[in-house]
Structure 1
Amino acid sequence: MKRLSVRDSKPQDSLWLSFEGVFEPRTAWESELEPFFQALEEYADGWMPDVAEGKRRRKYGRAAIWKALEEKRDENSTSIVLRRTEWPSLYLWPRLELPPLPPQLRIMLEVKPLSFFEEAERCRNLVEMVRAWASRYLVSHAVAHSNDDVALTGFPDFGRDKETWYRDGFDKVYEVFWLNVFGPRLVETVGRERMLSTPAWRVEELPNGCVLLVTWPTVTDFASDEARLAQARAHAHLRPDLSFDTVLRTLRERSATLAPVEPRFQPDVAPLLSRVVDYTASHERQRKIAEFNAWQPPEPEEWRPASTALVPDVDSLERALEHYGHLAEHLVALLHKQVPSVFDETPESLTDVDFYFWREDFPKSRLRENIDAHAVPAIGAYLGEVLVRNLGGRWIPRQRLDEAQVLVGNRVWFPFVRARHYMSSCQALLDYSLTWLYRVAARHRP
């Protein structure tokens, strides 16, 4: 049973929900959680889960859910993951914390993409679902909003150190999101009358003393100036110690950070940079695009005019070429599972290799002595073999690897020197990419 993952799809914003409520631990799970699932099934408009995961994956259903919860139970908690097999993708994680911990129902929900909720009726159904949950399970705090925008707020600690965060929790209104449920403690801290008079699209006192607050009819409009004004008015009302202008300026800055930026990458390295951008968290994507638009890779320095090439100083040209081939095969052996195209020794495989090493933070995540002893020689030899195979290059062997050259047109290139520069840091994987050197070498070939 193949299910969609919110992590596997392309980087884009999603709807994100966090909910913390209290449940009765002395009651059987089935009866205590029934209201949760009833509300989910009634209001999950187009994004209902069809897969339940415990220790194994099962088709969604009550029997599967109770079985999964039992499988995952440990001494103080149990949880399951609910997903979908069709668009939109879903991650729904209900977790029960059991005595001796304070009994809590924690819910984390993500539906991707956020654009799925552009219809007001879908947003209304989501609000009604959260209202039903919050009326049944007394909450301390619950929110639903754009996942990207939440990431920019620092939720849930909002910049506090862990000790302060664990001690104080949601002791004041640090942010107002699109949908909010404030528990009785926070309502009393703010003042119930002030809370209920908040200028917002919907403000409702729930039977258990919680207050539901929704700033705007649809969550997909969160970054519009009208929605930001509504968000700022509500936040400044609930926190009279804050300046409305300051709150609004911060919200507008977040909108600007998330505003789409058109990629204008250096063409030779655009395929590599596009993959780096696609791997970047979606809330950082636009900033990364702007950064790469302004960035130019430094011109390769690992070359000399062909007229100044070092002459071979090895005893046997044939054995030297075999040695370079064996070194290149070491890279193929290292990467063939993660980068299947490495077998091809093409310009495209260089880009795949570049991206793999960047994604793995290879210069930081591996031992430096192993990088210098094994990775650098393998990468240099592989780069040299690609130059020979695809650009008609010719090895000029030397006893020292750093002096070995590949003649392409009127230049000789030093692939092992390039590999050493390349592996010096994670940023160097982009500055000294194998892709970039190859493209420059190709341009200078007659």
Structure 2
Amino acid sequence: MKVLEFHDSRDEDYLRLSFEGVFDAQAALESELAPWFHALEEYADGWMPDVTEGKRQRKYARPALWKALEESRDGNSTTLGLYRTRWPDLDMTLLLWLPPRPPKLEVWLKVKPLSFFAEAERCRKLVEMMRAWASRYPVTYARAHSADDAELAGSPRFGRDEKISRKDGFDKIYGVFWLNVFGPKLVEAVGRERVLSTPAHRVEELPNGCVLLVTWPTAADFASDEARLAQARAHAHLRPDLDFDTLLRALRERSAMLAPVEPRFHPDVEPLLLRVVDRTASHARQRRIAELNAWQPPEPEEWRPADSVLPPDVDDPERALERYGDLAEHLVALLHTDVPSVFEETPESLTDVDFYFWREDFPKSRLRENIEAYAVPAIGAYLGEVLVRHLGGRWIPRQKLEEAQVLVGQRVWLPFVRARHYMASCQALLDFSLTRFYRAAERHRG
């Protein structure tokens, strides 16, 4: 069975559900958890897990679940993973804390993409599942919402110090999300009458004193202005010390941050920047696109007019050319596993190299002395070889690598100088990309 790899697929917004309840550790585990699995199986509309994992993967079935929980037991806890082999992506974990620790049942659910929850009926079933769980396993607080929006909201810390947030948890209503379950203690702190009178799509008191609250019919529509109005009304009602207009303004600002932005990148580096934004966390991607739309890569300055070329000053030009080839091979040896196209020495391989170095934060994550001694010469030689191979360039060797030139048309280009500028910082990898350098040389070769 090959499960979908949730975190290996393209990062995009997803539904994130968190649930923390208590259970009876004295009861037989199978009977105590049966209602949890029954609710999952009844209400998981289109996203039901088909693989369970303890120490190994098995097809989803009740006997496999008990086996996985048994083999994963480690002292006072046991964990169960639940996944899918077909779209939509699912990453789900059930964690049980066992005596002598206070018995606790924790659930983390991620379903990607969030757009899967655009249908009201599918969302209603998810709410019913949460209702069944919270009715059977009382919670302090549980919620389901857009992962991107929750990230922008600062959840779960909400601006608190990490130690304080871990100690206090959700001890008061810091935020209201699409689906919320407030535990009895939190309800009493706010006032049960106030909680039950919250203006929202659905408000229901559960038999154990918890209150379930849903702000809007569908989870995927959380960023619409109507949904934001409903979210702000509910939050302001539950927290009368907060200003409605301020809450609504903050919610609208978050919606604006997540609104799609059309990429309009400089054509020389568009293939590189598209990969950069794909690598950006989805909650920050639209802002990153806007930034890169406004950014223009500097025009390459690592060149001279052909009439000011420095003549060769080496005793053996052929040996110098062999040296450049050997240096270029060092880059191939360094990157061939992560960047297979590096063997081809093409313009496209330059973009692949650019992206690799940017993804790895190479100038920051490697020793500076090694970058200067090994990476810069290898990159400069490789870039020069691509100019020679694809633009009809000709090496003009010099004793100093930084003076070595490649003649293309009416300009001589300085690939080793470019490589040094390129490796100065992580931002320099974009400002002085190899791709941009090649495209500039290409335009001027005539």
Task: Confirm or deny a common fold (TM above 0.5).
Answer: yes
Paired residue for 1:318?
318
Percentage of identical aligned residues:
76
Deviation, 1:346, is 0.5
Paired residue for 2:223?
223
Counterparts in 2 of 1:182 and 1:275: CA distance versus 1, 3 Å: same
After TM superposition, the structure 1 stretch with the greater mean CA deviation from structure 2, 93-102 or 399-408, is 93-102
Deviation, 1:375, is 1.3
Distance 1:212 1:410 in 2: 73
Paired residue for 2:237?
237
Q: Which SS does the other structure have where 1:157 is aligned?
A: coil
For structure 1, list consecutive stretches of 5 or more residues without a partner in the other structure.
none
Distance 1:287 1:49 in 2: 34
Q: Which SS does the other structure have where 2:220 is aligned?
A: helix
Paired residue type of 2:248:
L
Q: Which SS does the other structure have where 1:170 is aligned?
A: coil
Deviation, 1:98, is 2.6
Distance 1:190 1:429 in 2: 52
Distance 2:76 2:401 in 1: 58
Paired residue for 2:284?
284
Paired residue for 1:269?
269
After TM superposition, the structure 1 stretch with the greater mean CA deviation from structure 2, 237-246 or 423-432, is 423-432
1:291-330 matches, cutoff 5 A: 291-330=291-330
Q: Which SS does the other structure have where 2:140 is aligned?
A: strand
Distance 1:113 1:13 in 2: 6
Paired residue type of 2:196:
L
Deviation, 1:129, is 0.4
Deviation, 1:254, is 0.5
Distance 2:23 2:201 in 1: 29
Q: Which SS does the other structure have where 2:445 is aligned?
A: coil
Counterparts in 2 of 1:372 and 1:98: CA distance versus 1, 3 Å: farther
Q: Deviations along 1:119-142, whole A, 9 cap, x unmatched?
A: 111000000000111111111111
Q: Which SS does the other structure have where 1:418 is aligned?
A: helix
Deviation, 1:171, is 1.1
Paired residue type of 2:185:
R
Paired residue for 1:44?
44
Deviation, 1:185, is 1.2
Q: Deviations along 1:295-341, whole A, 9 cap, x unmatched?
A: 10011111111111112122211111111111111111111111111
Runs of 4+ displaced beyond 3 Å: none
Deviation, 1:70, is 2.8
Paired residue for 2:150?
150
Q: How many pairs align?
A: 446
Distance 1:75 1:365 in 2: 38
Q: Give me the CA root mean square deviation.
A: 1.2
Is the aligned partner of 1:356 residue 2:369?
no
Distance 2:178 2:242 in 1: 19
Deviation, 1:15, is 1.1
Paired residue for 2:84?
84
Paired residue for 1:7?
7
After TM superposition, the structure 1 stretch with the greater mean CA deviation from structure 2, 333-342 or 41-50, is 333-342
Deviation, 1:32, is 2.3
Paired residue for 2:159?
159
Distance 1:101 1:351 in 2: 53
Counterparts in 2 of 1:242 and 1:431: CA distance versus 1, 3 Å: same
Q: Which SS does the other structure have where 2:377 is aligned?
A: helix
Q: Deviations along 1:382-406, whole A, 9 cap, x unmatched?
A: 1111111111111111122111111
Distance 1:309 1:71 in 2: 72
Counterparts in 2 of 1:164 and 1:405: CA distance versus 1, 3 Å: same
Paired residue for 1:335?
335
Q: Which SS does the other structure have where 1:300 is aligned?
A: coil
Distance 1:4 1:104 in 2: 28
Deviation, 1:288, is 0.7
Q: TM-score if structure 1 supplies the norm length?
A: 0.98
Q: Which SS does the other structure have where 1:221 is aligned?
A: coil
Distance 1:414 1:400 in 2: 11
Paired residue for 1:405?
405
Deviation, 1:256, is 0.6
Is the aligned partner of 1:24 residue 2:49?
no
After TM superposition, the structure 1 stretch with the greater mean CA deviation from structure 2, 164-173 or 206-215, is 164-173
Paired residue for 1:252?
252
Paired residue for 2:111?
111
Distance 2:100 2:421 in 1: 55
Q: TM-score if structure 2 supplies the norm length?
A: 0.98
For structure 2, list consecutive stretches of 5 or more residues without a partner in the other structure.
none
Counterparts in 2 of 1:65 and 1:372: CA distance versus 1, 3 Å: farther
Deviation, 1:4, is 1.2
Distance 1:7 1:104 in 2: 27
Paired residue for 1:441?
441
Deviation, 1:30, is 2.1
Q: Deviations along 1:68-126, whole A, 9 cap, x unmatched?
A: 22333222322122111111111111111233433211111111111111111100000
After TM superposition, the structure 1 stretch with the greater mean CA deviation from structure 2, 289-298 or 314-323, is 314-323
After TM superposition, the structure 1 stretch with the greater mean CA deviation from structure 2, 18-27 or 290-299, is 18-27
Q: Which SS does the other structure have where 1:220 is aligned?
A: coil
Counterparts in 2 of 1:307 and 1:107: CA distance versus 1, 3 Å: same
Deviation, 1:257, is 0.7
After TM superposition, the structure 1 stretch with the greater mean CA deviation from structure 2, 222-231 or 56-65, is 56-65
Paired residue for 2:415?
415
Is the aligned partner of 1:376 residue 2:376?
yes
Paired residue for 2:168?
168
1:55-134 matches, cutoff 5 A: 55-134=55-134
Paired residue type of 2:130:
V
